[in-house]
Structure 1
Amino acid sequence: MPILYRPLRSHELLDLSAPDDSLHVCHGGGRNLQLAVPSRWISFWLPLKEGVELEAPDCRWLLRPGELLVWRDGPLQAGNRRDGRWLAVCGSPAAWARYQRARPGEPAIGLLPSESRCTRALRRLGVRLARVARRPELCPLDVGAVAGMLSAALTEHQRDLHALLPRCAGRTLLRRQQTLMRLLRVRHLIRRHDEGRVDLAQLAASANYSPCHLIRSYRDVFGETPSEYAARLRSERAWQLVRETRMPVCEITAALGFESQSAFCRAFKGTFGMTTTQARRLADPVPLRAGTACAPEMACAQAA
């Protein structure tokens, strides 16, 4: 089956739910447009301007320019209320499999659901695929070759996720991959709750685990419990809002779901060793990198 170029303009709706083995390269541009991707399809999302608004059955979020998303879970709705531009490459696992090549001696794992910063190389490949799919006669490379290059680059981009597979429960690679995908679903739900409060029972239900089994499996794979991960994200978000914005502390308190401003201030000082006022007065801002705790520690050392 071919690779299809599917442009979307303002006030248009494209529903890909009909059975299809094509790979769809969708280019959204405008406002009030919608794209519906069916459950279990694999889709790669690349915002270009203003981001793309995404909605899954259990959450809604904005994917911003500079980020990328690989989705292969439940159905996904995408759109723009404002004037924006984005690319999406969507297809069934069988459609993607035609363009995926495993390294010699390595098993074919396939793409895993993930959300991360987009590299310049991946952005260029995504844009190049859209251009070649739209006007194949103007490119010396076959559109299938460009799709293979994008698939290979995405696979390489996910090497860190592939390294987690040996930690997952399961006797076969397929079983371990299914375990990891369940835990990545939980991780995604935690990230989508900016206030940092998670319902363990709800998270466990999303993975078809009991709460105890989820805590044990999640810790085995990621080295921390779901609650610890949520608390870490909450702390990173607090540091970012205090250091990188002029948002009043009372508004930060509400945004992060703290019971009171005094509770937030106590938690902030207990975590970072300084008050919010001291953090904002630091002469040399040290940005906090996602997934690390070193930036606040460095900031504390500077303050000392």
Structure 2
Amino acid sequence: MEQTLWGDRGQLVKLEPSESNDQTGCVAVSRLGNAQVGAELFSVWVQLRGASWVEAKEGRFRLRRGHWIALEKDSKPLVQTDRYGLCLGVTLSMEGLRAMARFADSPLYAGRGRLNRRDALTLVRLWREAGRRAQDGADISALRPLLLHLAGVQQEFSEFIQRCPGRSRNRKRQVFGRLQRARLYLEGNCDRVVRISELAELTSFSSWYFSRTFYSLYDESPQAAAARMRLEHAAELLRNTSMMVGEVAAASGFDNCCSFARAFRARFGTSASRYRSSLVPSRTDSAKSSAAARKAVTRTGT
């Protein structure tokens, strides 16, 4: 197992498995650092501080504090942090995935989600322990506690796996893994309209089988899921950027402002402009509270 790799202060670390080095192990990216993961490496990333951008075959993702994302072995992600960012990662080669199958009841799947504070603290401790053991020349078993913890974070997937078609457990897991990747692809391409044929090709299913299975698993059609994600993306842009409404519509894959306005109102019950305006008081109150807190600290110090 490789020692911990760290891309810090603009540095780029590259992870490419070879015959002499499979690159299974821990990696970290911080303070404008970068990490490029090569083919045949499954990877999991957890954002602890600041934010990161992840560009992969499935699309582009923004990780904020407490977010995690898992990517398939041919995703080839590039992870870039902002000036305050700290993102911890774990990479698994084919041999590492096979080793995990020997000691874990369930494999890791592509997807994304959030960690609560307790799980995040546990992950940091296990990640550090795995890194220290790697420096001492430990094998894949050094990652076992960390990988089991990550599998536990994905325990919520177990209910979905049972709903997948297939006679055997392995077949259900295979179908679920492919559908999870398709769902992640939708999230990573919220700036445009994704065709069903793209998702079918990604999962190696027919368009008919994919659509039917997706609906039975997630209780919404791929088209409905895509529309919902694009509108949620638009709402996030309205909350966190100063983009004009027309720019938000274009960045969310809508051809014109009229269709965006109708879809946004149907989803959120208000117009995009009023949605943004409703956030202004809370931002102002938050700014006033922060200013008051700083003044109180200053008075206490004096």
Report the TM range for the smaller structure's normalisation: 0.7 to 0.9
> Which residue is equivalent to 1:158?
154
Does the alignment pair 1:118 with 2:115? yes
Shift of 1:155: 1.9
Q: Contact 2:96–2:140 (CA<8 Å) still a contact in 1?
A: no
TM-score (norm 2): 0.76
- How far apart in 2 are the matches of 1:78 and 1:127? 22
In the alignment, the residues of structure 1 paired with residue 4 and residue 97 of structure 2 have an alpha-carbon distance, to the nearest angstrom, of 15
Q: After superposition, what is the alpha-carbon deviation per residue over 1:80-109, rounded to whole angstroms, capped at 9, x for unaligned?
A: 37544322111235435656745xxxxx22
Cα distance in 1 between the residues matched to 2:231 and 2:12: 40
CA separation of 1:261/1:151 partners in 2, compared to 1, >3 Å: closer, same or farther? same
1:36-82 deviations in Å (ceiling 9; x for gaps): 2432x332212334434433335343433321112234142324375
**How do 1:1-304 residues align onto structure 2 when only pairs under 5 Å count?**
2=1, 4-9=3-8, 10-19=10-19, 20=21, 23-31=24-32, 33-39=34-40, 41-57=41-57, 59-80=59-80, 83=83, 84-95=85-96, 98=99, 101-102=103-104, 108-135=105-132, 147-195=143-191, 197-242=193-238, 246-280=242-276, 282=278
Q: Whole-Å Cα distance in 2 between the matches of residues 96 and 209 of structure 1?
A: 24
Please identify, of 211-220 and 87-96, the stretch whose mean Cα deviation from structure 2 is larger. 87-96
| Paired residue secondary structure (2:214) | helix
Moved more, 192-201 or 42-51: 42-51
TM-score (norm 1): 0.76
Structure 1 unaligned runs (5+)? 103-107, 287-304
Matched residue count: 276
SS at match of 1:4: coil
Residue pair 1:25, 1:88 contacting (<8 A) in 2 also:
yes
Structure 2 vs 1, CA of residues 277 and 12 (structure 1 numbering), >3 Å: closer, same or farther? closer
User: CA shift at 1:205, angstroms?
Assistant: 0.8
Classify 1:45/1:242 alpha carbon distance in 2 versus 1 (closer, same or farther; 3 Å).
closer
Q: Percent identity?
A: 25
Question: Do the aligned residues in 2 keep the contact of 1:46 with 1:68 (CA within 8 Å)?
Answer: yes
User: What is the deviation of 1:285?
Assistant: 8.8
8 A contact 2:179–2:203 mirrored in 1: yes
Structure 2 unpaired stretches of 5+:
283-302
Matched residue SS, 2:4: strand
Q: CA RMSD, aligned part only?
A: 3.4
Aligned partners of 1:190 and 1:196 also within 8 Å: no
CA distance in 2, matches of 1:130, 1:259: 45
C-alpha spacing 1:122/1:240, structure 2 compared with 1 (3 Å) = same
